[in-house]
Amino acid sequence: MINQGKIENNRFIKRVSFSEAVLWKSREISLNPATIKKCKDSNVFEIWFEDLNKNERWKILLTDFINNSTLKTMHQERQWYCPISLFDREVIRKIEIKPISTVVEPIQKGLF
C-alpha cells in the first residue's frame, strides 16, 4: 500500500517508496495541504514516512513540518515541501516469526 496515509495514535503514518517520494535534488519530502489540514483537525502531533522495503522510518513533529515547509508546485498539485534533514531516521526492525512446528513440537513431546 505505497503512498497511503492513515492517522493512528495521534500520528500520521504514510507508507512510501523513498526513491520516489523524496525530491533528491532538493532533499525534500511533501504532503498536500488537505493532509496537513486533516492532521491539524485530528490533533496529530507527529508525521511518519515509512518505507517497508528499506525498513526505514523518517519522523518529524507536525509543528516542525509546518514551520519549516514551503508551499510550491513541483510536477504535481501544490504541496508543502519540508527538508528531509529535519526528520529523524530510524530502522524498522522486522519481527521474527517462528514456524508453528517449533511451538507444537515441544507440546507433543510432553515438555509442557
pLDDT at 111 over 70: no
Find the domain containing 50 and state its range.
Answer: 4-108
pLDDT in tens, 4-15: 689 999 999 988
Rounded Cα gap, residues 45 and 90, in angstroms:
18
Instruction: Answer for the pair 83, 28: CB distance below 8 angstroms, yes or no.
Output: yes
Instruction: Answer for the pair 56, 50: CB distance below 8 angstroms, yes or no.
Output: yes
pLDDT in tens, 18-53: 666 555 567 888 898 999 999 999 999 999 998 888
Number of domain units in the chain? 1
Read off the pLDDT band of 66 (50, 70, 90): very high
